[in-house]
Structure 1
């Protein structure tokens, strides 16, 4: 009984300790999960004294994705998140070791970790300013969350030149969105997909004090500043009411917002841009934004465009569709210029990026501006200034259109469209998705029927091959049957391995014997016959009798040795066509002919087949070359050539007259070689 009470008390104590909040620092080895600290909503570490900030495994909005976050306790604002683009489930965990912080999901897959550190971790420390720091044994900083900002900075944090804040997709989805606040060497700029839409220096509340190079941006008790000279010089400043705590955040909507807090009460001090129509996607793609002073911007569609759907913002042209930019994976080939046209937006239209970009053409007419856009697949729209002839190109991504009275009739906007596209589609992507079922209904039955026909033909062919009578009295081998299934008319007759062994091998010697030169059926494995003649020096017996007196034994020996090299069992040792020509011309020594076994050791009937084709191709190509050379030596300028025409450069094999095959080409021991491939395809 006492043992049971002790165990129960120990488990209760362990559960209490495991779920308690830590203050300021924790040491390795430490593990935290949402369920382990569920009573604190996933929080396990508080900043010192009043606990302004906390570290928690948190799911904003109560959804299923969890993040390791630093949270401002009073307002519930997330000022930093570790695994914004790689959330974990409720069973995921955070581990603190001497190597740093790692975040893994329930299955153990690593989602996020700190980079390699220069020394072991001694503690994880949360400062009173909200900075999460890894310390070594001497309290030196190894890694800080302030150096890797997400969408927010706080008092005491610097955002250096070249760094940026990235918006979240939404309040509950912390994944990286499309908006950026970039710090350049002269300004702070808001961007959407690389296109600027607001600058701090353009705001009426910002003042430029100097033209120094900007080193970093920071907020403090008195406002927002761009500093230079290590903080001793102010380049741009925005003065705000004094406050002990404020945050600057790039909102998911694309606004840059500064808030100050007094306890749990927060107040918005600044928002940029102040004109809501300057936000690139405030009304969706090609949506028309009209600024209103009281209720915010209102959205509609330009003339000639209609809404995509009731559930999504943006507009598409009526009776046509929008082309895709170059970088799109669905763009395919470049559209024909005749399929493109331009839909006019009307007068008094503006676009957010025009004030931050330079014209692509100066002093041109409208047709030149449109031709430029037509030839560039990245160009999706143009704005043309009538008064100056300036041409502005809108590239890669389109945002909302702004209704403006500032330009009156001087600025004209045109959207590139595909002519003749269906008007009832939302966009190019939805058009493709709607057409897919129709295409599938047509193609799938046809494909299935075609597949059945092909399979039936293959089955019939295989059955025919299996029933074929073999002269030797037994069924053909599998490899031969496979080759017969892919018979190509005009190629030499194919024989099984057993047939070749029967006709070309001696029963007492598996390596081959004299029987290769004589067979009752008249079928001869020509490479072995040539090898026998080579070993016996009887080269002239291989030549066509009608060539007697026109070729020498040395010439036949040369071509036989070259041909035998071309049927070597190792393909990489066979000479290419350049070497074959070199050996025939005498510039390269003749190759060494291997033994009979090296020719016979071919693994499958396919090897036999291509070896024969290889040998015969080289043999007759060489014989053709030799006979042609002899004919020209004997009858240059006056003799008859193969076609019986007169001599001279205008006839015969090298002239303009008709060509005929060399004598003897069709009379080599009954082999049909009327459609043999060229030697280069065999020996190369």
Structure 2
């Protein structure tokens, strides 16, 4: 039989000073007796209470400064309630529950509305409220179904408002911040949110969410880790998850009203254990041995998987010796402002794009020609690629980038080189990491805006844009444009008259050397000016030769024999190596494979030329068509030679190769063809 709840409060006011002693006797099955002493005049008090507080109580950090703002302790002394300022800062104070041994704040009421050291926590019959020194209400408990009889701090760290029947009206365990403790459940749909820093408890960017099948970590609504990824995690059943709980033996995802373990993480036995999502974005489970804090588990284990570990566009590399992440900037990027860890384009004419909400983006993106993509180094990867599906499959790099250029939310792409998969980086850019997987062939590109040289030291915006356009520019630009139009019209008219006057006449260039230099292209056969040709042909009476070298087949011949230096221009002698020429030849031959599927895309071509991926190996079977074309040119040249006409070799090395080829068993077809003297190769 349950006895009725009885409460008797005795207030004793001592004549020797302004002290009130409140003693309460209760009977609810087991009688209890609690006393509290209140000091109404002294602003600095060393008095604190154990387990219970009663309405019409006021506390501030200043009033309890001797105890660091602490005024209520649990019965076992493991937890305390305080108006506390974490760290060494003196401006942000919070009404919070603290684990005494570790000094960890395991719950805070006003995390997003900190107060001053003289702000008051007021407990009355309606609940708890936090009033700042200016009288503004910063936080309060919700409306309760009945009047408050007492505030209790349990031995498990739960802060409870109780009614006169000992029933729970409100409890802190139902409103977790970044930590859960033994005896506390985190139901599906609820979350833990990290603090911004260790001394700024404001809601940070990282969250732990409990879903129907797992517990996940997210940054900016993007998943970067799952509880089931942990090597120690074990999946027991396929039941839907109801809640997550931590106890003396580990962490569990439970289903079927808590009767079935869905996923478990077994740890060593401990009487005290807490699970916390810290400010860095790592989920840690800790226990205590005497006064030493032990980290039983941390996820993700690879801290380079934490999205913002190295700031925006930073590059994270694991230090195998220290285990700490090393931060740097990817290729084509440099460190930005000294106030941030973010990276910015090395070329000051490029600037990173902001989000869709930025007015500057909507204005600047009207012209797609302003968009460019800076390539990240080979082996660089992004956390979201492991959790998001590609936006498109089976596309080339250009199509992938074009798709990103049309979306203001897209800030970059990763392109699967072998699969043609296109991954888009949305809304905000985090950190990148060097992938340890040999199977990763994704190439990363960051979308940038190309414009005037921006000021150094900017972050992610359009640091080179000025909001105050000079008035003098408004005058000079139109007038300059008009002057250029007039000048162009004059030059066009003058050119038309000269063209008409000289029509039908053979005009010798007034400055042959200048004319040749103006149109000289490195690597083409030698060009001759008018006077030289006139003299050599006896005023064009004697034909001295015809044709050109079929260069692709000659390049294939030299590739097969490994004689790459013979393909280099004579003017480059001593300035290029065989390896450099080999790289160009192999890439070029791969690009002219007869089967389109064997040809590399432009992204791969760039990566091979820059040495970031291995060179492709030309397929001789797919290059046999070059021999067919070479044979046709050779036959044409043979007709010219047999007719007794002279020929001239524009490529001495080619002629030498031909002589060697003719003396052997194989026949090369890299001959002078009877087409034109200075044609393309």
TM-score (norm 2): 0.61
2:187 pairs with one of 131, 152, 160: 160
Instruction: Say how many residue pairs are matched.
Output: 436
Asked if 1:333 is matched to 2:360, the reply is no
SS in 2 for 1:238: strand
Give the Å deviation of 1:405: 3.7
Q: Which residue of 1 aligns with 2:299?
A: 272
Q: Which residue of 2 aligns with 1:188?
A: 215
1:308 and 1:107, CA in 2 relative to 1: closer, same or farther beyond 3 A?
same
1:154 and 1:203, CA in 2 relative to 1: closer, same or farther beyond 3 A?
same
1:313 pairs with one of 332, 341, 344: 341
Give the Å deviation of 1:284: 1.1
Q: Which residue of 1 aligns with 2:285?
A: 258
Q: Which residue of 2 aligns with 1:61?
A: 87
1:13 and 1:237, CA in 2 relative to 1: closer, same or farther beyond 3 A?
closer
Write the distance in 2 (CA, Å) between the matches of 1:183 and 1:172.
26
> Conserved in 2, the CA contact under 8 Å of 1:347 and 1:408?
no
1:421 and 1:136, CA in 2 relative to 1: closer, same or farther beyond 3 A?
farther
Asked if 1:88 is matched to 2:99, the reply is no
Write the distance in 2 (CA, Å) between the matches of 1:358 and 1:186.
19
SS in 1 for 2:157: coil
> Conserved in 1, the CA contact under 8 Å of 2:352 and 2:462?
no
Write the distance in 1 (CA, Å) between the matches of 2:450 and 2:470.
27
CA deviation map 1:316-349 (0-9, x unaligned): 1122101111134654436121110111113211
Q: Which residue of 2 aligns with 1:404?
A: 435
The within-5 A match list for 1:124-135 is 124-135=151-162
Question: CA RMSD of the aligned region, Å?
Answer: 2.3
Asked if 1:366 is matched to 2:397, the reply is yes
> Conserved in 1, the CA contact under 8 Å of 2:239 and 2:262?
yes
Unaligned runs of at least 5 residues, structure 1: 1-5, 447-684
The within-5 A match list for 1:487-526 is none
1:103 pairs with one of 126, 130, 152: 130
Write the distance in 1 (CA, Å) between the matches of 2:123 and 2:390.
53
1:442 and 1:182, CA in 2 relative to 1: closer, same or farther beyond 3 A?
same
> Conserved in 2, the CA contact under 8 Å of 1:321 and 1:421?
no
Write the distance in 1 (CA, Å) between the matches of 2:79 and 2:41.
24
> Conserved in 1, the CA contact under 8 Å of 2:98 and 2:106?
yes
Give the Å deviation of 1:13: 6.7
2:272 pairs with one of 241, 245, 249: 245
Give the Å deviation of 1:423: 5.1
Give the Å deviation of 1:381: 0.6
SS in 2 for 1:61: coil
CA deviation map 1:221-254 (0-9, x unaligned): 1001000012110011000000000111001000
Q: Which residue of 2 aligns with 1:302?
A: 330
Write the distance in 2 (CA, Å) between the matches of 1:428 and 1:41.
39
SS in 2 for 1:230: coil
> Conserved in 1, the CA contact under 8 Å of 2:454 and 2:463?
no
SS in 2 for 1:165: strand
Larger Cα Rg: Structure 1 or Structure 2?
1
Write the distance in 1 (CA, Å) between the matches of 2:303 and 2:180.
23
* Higher relative helix content: 1
Q: Which residue of 2 aligns with 1:348?
A: 379
Give the Å deviation of 1:140: 0.8
Q: Which residue of 2 aligns with 1:393?
A: 424
Write the distance in 1 (CA, Å) between the matches of 2:380 and 2:434.
5
The within-5 A match list for 1:545-556 is none
Asked if 1:71 is matched to 2:102, the reply is no
Write the distance in 1 (CA, Å) between the matches of 2:463 and 2:331.
25
Write the distance in 2 (CA, Å) between the matches of 1:15 and 1:264.
37
Asked if 1:52 is matched to 2:75, the reply is no
1:379 pairs with one of 398, 410, 414: 410
Give the Å deviation of 1:368: 1.2
CA deviation map 1:484-508 (0-9, x unaligned): xxxxxxxxxxxxxxxxxxxxxxxxx
Write the distance in 2 (CA, Å) between the matches of 1:311 and 1:94.
36
Write the distance in 1 (CA, Å) between the matches of 2:429 and 2:58.
46
The within-5 A match list for 1:548-627 is none
SS in 2 for 1:28: coil
Asked if 1:141 is matched to 2:168, the reply is yes
> Conserved in 2, the CA contact under 8 Å of 1:154 and 1:246?
yes
> Conserved in 2, the CA contact under 8 Å of 1:321 and 1:422?
no
Q: Which residue of 1 aligns with 2:56?
A: 29
> Conserved in 2, the CA contact under 8 Å of 1:317 and 1:423?
no
Write the distance in 2 (CA, Å) between the matches of 1:429 and 1:342.
15
1:120 and 1:344, CA in 2 relative to 1: closer, same or farther beyond 3 A?
same
Give the Å deviation of 1:81: 0.2
SS in 2 for 1:150: coil
Q: Which residue of 2 aligns with 1:219?
A: 246
1:355 and 1:154, CA in 2 relative to 1: closer, same or farther beyond 3 A?
same
> Conserved in 2, the CA contact under 8 Å of 1:65 and 1:87?
yes
1:281 and 1:428, CA in 2 relative to 1: closer, same or farther beyond 3 A?
closer
1:237 and 1:408, CA in 2 relative to 1: closer, same or farther beyond 3 A?
closer
> Conserved in 2, the CA contact under 8 Å of 1:152 and 1:249?
yes
* Higher relative strand content: 2
Write the distance in 1 (CA, Å) between the matches of 2:358 and 2:103.
39
Write the distance in 1 (CA, Å) between the matches of 2:436 and 2:289.
41
SS in 2 for 1:303: coil
SS in 2 for 1:62: coil
Give the Å deviation of 1:428: 6.0
Write the distance in 2 (CA, Å) between the matches of 1:199 and 1:97.
43
1:329 and 1:170, CA in 2 relative to 1: closer, same or farther beyond 3 A?
farther
SS in 2 for 1:373: helix
Give the Å deviation of 1:195: 0.7
1:7 and 1:435, CA in 2 relative to 1: closer, same or farther beyond 3 A?
farther
1:442 and 1:30, CA in 2 relative to 1: closer, same or farther beyond 3 A?
farther
1:234 pairs with one of 255, 261, 264: 261
1:202 and 1:123, CA in 2 relative to 1: closer, same or farther beyond 3 A?
same
Write the distance in 1 (CA, Å) between the matches of 2:357 and 2:224.
22
Give the Å deviation of 1:429: 5.8
